[in-house]
Amino acid sequence: MNSLQLLGLAAGTITSITFIPQVIQIWRTKSAKDISLPMLSMLIIGVSLWLAYGIILRDAAIIYTNSMVLSMSLIMLYFKFRFR
């Protein structure tokens, strides 16, 4: 693994971690009323496209980052409907 790949993985890790506090907050409060469904939907579509792009390119950093962000986004979507 070269330094460019490590840079991409580090950036992906930091980007992915930013979603964790929001997921925890929704889970603790049992409320997702302040999360915009249109924003969340667009995020899921965009991240899914990035993931497909990363898979096509076989780019580990893009795949890793967007897999993590997609996972967190899908959890938030689940909570959005679960805690209505």
- pLDDT for the residue numbered 49: 98
pLDDT digit string (tens) for 16-73? 999 999 999 999 999 999 999 999 999 999 999 999 999 999 999 999 999 999 999 9
Q: From CA 41, how far away is CA 68, in angstroms rounded?
A: 16
Q: Where are the domains of the chain?
A: 3-82
> Could you identify the residue written with the tokens 């795949």?
63
- pLDDT for the residue numbered 3: 93
What is residue 33's three-state secondary structure? coil
Look at residues 70, 50, 68 and name the one whose alpha carbon lies nearest to residue 14: 68
CATH architecture of 3-82: Up-down Bundle (1.20)
The confidence band for 1, taking pLDDT boundaries of 50, 70 and 90, is confident
Q: From CA 81, how far away is CA 38, in angstroms rounded?
A: 13
pTM: 0.89
Joined tokens for residue 72: 């967190």
